[in-house]
Amino acid sequence: MDERPWYSGFFDDDYLRVFGPVLPEERTAAEVNGVVGQLGMAPGARLLDLCCGPGRHAVPWPGPASGSPGST
């Protein structure tokens, strides 16, 4: 039985090969900025990122985020 977490097999090189071209950094930045604006989050506000993949949104998040590889 594979003891690795489920996401380590799902968000692997195949995921990046398939979705990388349609999920450029510019799109991610626009999505992050949209969430920050829609939620009216103040600078430095905290966000809990759970079960959301490889941290595509949490890594560039403009403040402390927890629960992802890019957390602070």
Reported pTM: 0.66
pLDDT of residue 5: 81
- Chain centre to alpha carbon of residue 9: 17
Could you read off the pLDDT tens digit of each residue along the chain, which spans 72 residues?
Answer: 668 887 778 888 898 899 889 989 899 889 988 988 999 988 778 878 776 677 888 888 876 554 444 433
| Distance (Å, whole) CA 36 – CA 58 | 12
Domain count, the chain: 1
Note down the domain range covering 56.
Answer: 6-66
Q: What's the angle, vertex CA 71, arms to CA 29 and CA 47, rounded to 5?
A: 70
pLDDT of residue 72: 36
Let me know if residue 54 belongs to a domain.
yes
